[in-house]
């Protein structure tokens, strides 16, 4: 039976505000221009729930599901994807995180994929572009050219996400997307014909630079250093978003240092390391339910979300209990 001429493409990609996740999703959408495309962006800790909520939008033979720059942890998620595949959906998975690549044969990934690319060689956006580029001959000439031109934007995402920074302005793109948010950035990038920041993204870049400076100041004011065996150093701090940029500031003059930032905005922990540190942060994050790359990873920990309130309760509780007259506390 032939497939419908108009497909429904559901994309689940990494967010919020991740340049690589946004561009990976936009790459799929650019290739399927003219079809119904529904993007969703999820943080690492939200991937299982988000994927398990996916449902067919057609009778199955017109459905495609693309999961990019993201993995999952539950076997129930894999079982759900298999159910969708049995009903006719074509399921694709493209990821570059070490925590996914190293677990490629895990039970939760035993899915009947129509296509799967797991590699640390490039970012998810570039892996997605390269994968779809092999099918570009199936597109009408104008759409093929529009898709091929998108390679320059995919290259920007790859340059920043792998921290290569050989392409001018790739860091600015990442900062603008992080500030504007995934869905608005996706819409802006999807309509681009040239790799030039739109006015909306330029405004977001200016706002992002100011917000990043505030987040950096919070981090510098909350640094706690701990010396560990073997000459390793742990530097923890709080920030308010922009964890990659803030971490780079904190490890700039450090040696063999692991940076752990509790992001007051996302309520997650971001792990980074100084350039001479060889600790595999993806392994550390995975042991705490997260994931990522060797040099950049993250996780969520419920206890950390309550820690500031608990500490404040202890401090104020002790003071209030010591007052003979509660009115004196005013």
Backbone φ and ψ for 117, nearest 5 degrees, come out as: -130, 115
Does residue 328 have a pLDDT over 70? no
pLDDT given at position 36: 97
- What pLDDT digit, counting tens, does each position of 192-247 carry? 999 999 999 999 999 999 999 999 999 999 999 999 999 999 999 999 999 999 99
Q: How confident is the model at residue 155 (pLDDT cuts 50, 70, 90)?
A: very high
In the chain, at which residue ranges do the beta strands (DSSP E only) sit?
Answer: 8-14, 36-42, 63-68, 90-95, 115-118, 224-228, 232-239, 257-263, 269-273, 291-292, 296-299
Q: Provide mean pLDDT across the span 117-142.
A: 96
Q: Of 78, 162, 179, 83, nearest to 126 (Cα)? A: 162
Percent of the chain exceeding pLDDT 90 equals: 82
Q: How confident is the model at residue 1 (pLDDT cuts 50, 70, 90)?
A: low
pLDDT given at position 278: 94
pLDDT given at position 318: 85
- What pLDDT digit, counting tens, does each position of 173-183 carry? 999 999 999 99
- What pLDDT digit, counting tens, does each position of 240-286 carry? 999 999 999 999 999 999 999 999 998 899 999 999 999 999 999 98
**Tally: H helices and E strands in the chain:** 13, 11
Does residue 151 have a pLDDT over 60? yes
Q: Within 222-298, where are the H helices? A: 243-250, 281-286
Does residue 330 have a pLDDT over 60? no
Q: Provide mean pLDDT across the span 66-94.
A: 97
pLDDT given at position 219: 97
pLDDT given at position 323: 80
Give 321-328 contacts, CB < 8 A, sequence gap 24+. none
Q: Within 150-198, where are the H helices? A: 151-161, 170-180, 182-190
Does residue 184 have a pLDDT over 70? yes
Mean pLDDT, rounded, of the chain: 93
Does residue 128 have a pLDDT over 90? yes
pLDDT given at position 2: 62
pLDDT given at position 324: 55
Task: Please state the pTM of the whole predicted model.
Answer: 0.86
pLDDT given at position 40: 98
Angle CA 235–240–245, to nearest 5: 65
């Amino acid at each position: 039976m032939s497939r419908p001429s108009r497909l429904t493409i559901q994309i689940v990609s990494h967010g919020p505000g991740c340049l690589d996740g946004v561009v990976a999703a936009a790459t799929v959408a650019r290739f399927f221009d003219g079809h119904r495309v529904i993007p969703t962006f999820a943080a690492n800790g939200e991937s299982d729930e988000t994927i398990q909520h996916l449902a067919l939008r057609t009778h199955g033979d017109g459905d495609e599901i693309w999961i990019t720059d993201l993995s999952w942890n539950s076997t129930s998620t894999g079982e759900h994807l298999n159910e969708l595949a049995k009903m006719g959906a074509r399921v694709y998975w493209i990821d570059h995180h070490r925590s996914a690549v190293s677990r490629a044969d895990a039970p939760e990934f035993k899915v009947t994929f129509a296509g799967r690319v797991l590699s640390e060689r490039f970012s998810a956006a570039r892996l997605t572009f390269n994968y779809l580029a092999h099918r570009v001959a199936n597109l009408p000439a104008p759409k093929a050219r529009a898709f091929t031109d998108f390679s320059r934007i995919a290259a920007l995402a790859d340059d920043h996400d792998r921290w290569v920074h050989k392409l001018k302005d790739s860091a600015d793109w990442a900062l603008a997307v992080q500030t504007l948010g995934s869905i608005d950035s996706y819409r802006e990038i999807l309509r681009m014909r040239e790799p030039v920041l739109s006015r909306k993204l330029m405004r977001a870049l200016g706002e992002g630079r100011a917000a990043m400076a505030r987040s950096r100041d919070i981090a510098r004011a909350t640094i706690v250093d701990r010396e560990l065996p073997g000459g390793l150093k742990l530097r923890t701090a709080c920030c308010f978003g922009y964890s990659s940029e803030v971490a780079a500031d904190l490890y700039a003059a450090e040696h063999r240092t692991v940076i752990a930032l509790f992001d007051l905005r996302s309520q997650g922990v971001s792990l980074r390391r100084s350039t001479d540190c060889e600790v595999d942060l993806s392994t550390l994050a995975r042991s705490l339910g997260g994931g990522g790359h060797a040099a950049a990873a993250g996780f969520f920990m419920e206890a950390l979300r309550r820690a500031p309130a608990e500490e404040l309760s202890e401090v104020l509780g002790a003071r209030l209990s010591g007052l003979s007259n509660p009115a004196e506390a005013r």
